[in-house]
Structure 1
Amino acid sequence: MSEQERFPGWHGTTIIGVRKGGKVVVAGDGQVSLGQTVIKGTARKVRRVSPGGKDVVCGFAGSTADAFTLLERLEKKLEAAPGQLARACVELAKDWRTDKYLRNLEAMLIVTDGRELFVITGAGDVLEPEHDIAAIGSGGNFALAAARALIDTDLDAEAIARKALGIAAEICVYTNGNLTVESLDAR
Structure 2
Amino acid sequence: MAPNDLPNHFPAWHGTTILTVRKGGIVAVGGDGQVSIGQTIVKANAKKVRRLAKGDVIGGFAGATADAFTLFERLEAKLEQYPAQLMRACVELAKDWRTDRYLRRLEAMMIVADKDVSLVLTGTGDVLEPENGIVGIGSGGNYALAAARALADTDLDAETIVKKAMAIAADICVYTNRNVTIETLKT
Whether TM exceeds 0.5 here: the answer is: yes
In the aligned structure 1, how far is the partner of 2:15 from the partner of 2:93?
24
Q: What letter corresponds to residue 141 of structure 1 in structure 2?
A: N
The C-alpha deviation readout for 1:42-94, integer Å capped at 9, x for no partner, is 000000012xx461100000000000000000000000010100000000000
Q: CA RMSD in A?
A: 1.7
Partner of 1:31: 34
The C-alpha deviation readout for 1:131-172, integer Å capped at 9, x for no partner, is 110100010000000001110000000010010000000000
In the aligned structure 2, how far is the partner of 1:61 from the partner of 1:9?
11
Runs of 4+ in 1 over 6 A off after TM superposition: none
Partner of 1:43: 46
Unaligned runs of 5+ in 2: none
In the aligned structure 1, how far is the partner of 2:158 from the partner of 2:52?
20
The equivalences for 1:1-187 within 5 A come to: 3-4=5-6, 10=12, 12-50=15-53, 53=54, 55-186=56-187
Kindly state the Cα deviation for residue 8 of structure 1 after the two structures are TM-superposed.
Answer: 5.0
Question: Aligned with 2:104: secondary structure?
Answer: helix
Q: What letter corresponds to residue 40 of structure 2 in structure 1?
A: T
Q: What letter corresponds to residue 41 of structure 1 in structure 2?
A: A
Q: What letter corresponds to residue 42 of structure 2 in structure 1?
A: I
In the aligned structure 1, how far is the partner of 2:48 from the partner of 2:55?
20
In the aligned structure 2, how far is the partner of 1:168 from the partner of 1:134?
13
In the aligned structure 1, how far is the partner of 2:163 from the partner of 2:72?
24
Question: Aligned with 1:94: secondary structure?
Answer: helix
**Residue identity (%):** 67
